[in-house]
Amino acid sequence: MPARRTLLALAAALAALLVFAGPATADLFTPESGGSPNADKIDTLYKITLYISIPILLLVEGTLIYSLVKYKARRGGQAEQIRGNTSLELGWTIGAAVILVILTGVTFAFLNGITKPEKSGPEIAGGVQVAAIGQPDPPGGKGMRITVNGQQYLWRYDYPGKESLFSYHEMVVPTDTTVTLDITSSDVVHSWWIPKLGGKADAVPGHTAETWFKISKPGLYGGQCSELCGAGHADMRAVVRAVPPDEFERWAKDQRAEIKAAQDGLAAQRRAREAKTGGGG
């Protein structure tokens, strides 16, 4: 009996799904979250849309399966010659529209919390390390503004300040600080994405995209380029390392010193070479 088989197969599929669902972590069904408030809000928004969707999905699949089982051709059976039902059809059209209006309302209710950077933590605002690296304030309070530059197949981060401070691959940031990113690219289109720290933002040559995060728990947050950028696309990964503010200060100082030493070393090399070859070149 094909209809019964259909039903059995679907029941088996559903059972399999539940088996998976039981021990599974939340991320089987929802986006990554837990690093930054905007990621958490997107996660909540996703859950709301999911909860609205599930009854619709079950209604459609349920009615479909029910019809297939119930109205399978039987000897002597008569199909009802129904051509339509205006009020029913109007009903489901309006019903679908109403659900979407609700979804629109929910989205806009969440939008500000996702796009507007939060204020930095109170212990940071006006704190020492903020003044030390002298970055402009992001909207909403003191924080840090980092320029992210995508390059085949590497991310470069430029920190604000008079003295040159930059790094590749690993972005070190202080916790409890709102970090605003200005994202661009110097070759092809890339996309910046650290799932636990919020949504992605494309790095497009000639444009600057903005996103932000604020990390409360120190630790490593991984991610990778998510716009096809060439043969090494899958290897273009990125790590954000969140550390307490004082540790960040130490790192910044060391990094600056390292960069300065490297640049001075280069200058010395050049001078030595010029002295040997008689300058110019």
Partner 1 sequence: MEASSARLAGGPEISMHGFTEQPKGWLSWLTTTDHKRIGVMYLYATFLWFILGGVMALIMRLQLAQPDNTLLSGETYNSLASMHGVTMIFLWIVPVLAGFGNYFVPLMIGARDMAFPRLNALSFWLLVGGGIAFFCSLFFEPPQAGWTSYAPLSDDAYSPSGGIDAWIFLIHLTGLSSLVGAINFIATIHNMRAPGMSWGRMPLFVWSILVYSYLLVAALPAIAAAATMLLTDRHFGTGFFNVADGGDPLLWQHLFWFFGHPEVYIMILPAFGIISEILPVFSRKPVFGYKAIAASTVTIAFLALLVWAHHMFTTPTATVVLAFFMLSSFAISVPTGVKIFNWIATLWRGQIMMKTALYFAVALPALFVIGGISGVMLAVFPVDWQLHDTYYVVAHLHYVLFGGSVFGIFAGLYYWFPKMSGRLLSETLGKLSFWLMFVGFNLTFLIQHSAGLSGMPRRVYDYPADAGLTAYNLISTIGSFLLGIGVMITVVNVLKSVKGGRRAGNDPWKGNTLEWFTQSPPPANNFDTIPRVRSVEPMKDIRREVQKAGKASESVAQPVTSGSS
Contacts with 167 (C-beta within 8 Å, 6 or more apart), sequence order: 156, 157, 159, 255
Question: C-beta of 105: minimal distance to partner 1 in Å?
Answer: 12
d(CA 59, CA 37): 34
- Which lies closer to partner 1 via its Cβ, residue 186 or residue 263? 186
Answer yes or no: are the C-beta atoms of 43 and 23 closer than 8 Å. no
- Shorter beta-carbon distance to partner 1: residue 2 or 279: 2
In sequence order, the 6+-apart residues with CB closer than 8 A to the CB of 203 are: 148, 149, 150, 183, 184, 185, 189, 190, 191, 192, 209, 227
CB of 63 to partner 1, least distance (A): 5
Query: Which residue's CB is nearer to partner 1, number 193 or number 248?
Result: 193
In the complex, the smallest distance separating the C-beta of residue 180 from partner 1, rounded to whole angstroms, is 14
Cβ proximity to partner 1: between 116 and 217 the closer is 116
Minimum CB separation of residue 230 from partner 1 in Å reads 6
Closest separation in Å from C-beta 193 to partner 1: 7
User: In whole angstroms, how close is the CB of 4 to partner 1 at the nearest point?
Assistant: 10
Q: Which one, 45 or 144, has the nearer CB to partner 1?
A: 45
Burial class of residue 270 (count of CB atoms within 10 Å of its CB; 0-12, 13-18, 19+): exposed
Maximum alpha-carbon separation in the chain: 106
Consecutive H or E run containing 251:
helix 245-277
Question: Considering only CA atoms, which of 259, 223, 215 is closest in space to residue 150?
Answer: 223
* Cβ closest to partner 1, residue 57 vs residue 261: 57
Q: Which is nearer to partner 1, 40 or 247 (CB)?
A: 40
- Output the CA–CA distances (angstroms, integers) from residue 65 to 3, 4, 5, 141, in the order listed: 9, 10, 11, 55
Q: Which residues of 208-239 are buried (b: 16+ CB within 10 A; e: fewer)?
A: ebebbbbbeeeeebebbbebebeeebeebebe
CB of 265 to partner 1, least distance (A): 32
Query: Beta partners for 144?
Result: 179
Minimal distance, residue 179 CB to partner 1, in Å: 17
Residues forming beta bridges with residue 147, ordered by sequence position: 158, 182
CA distance 119 to 138: 9
Nearer to partner 1, 81 or 277 (CB): 81
Instruction: Output phi, psi for 18, to 5 deg.
Output: -70, -40
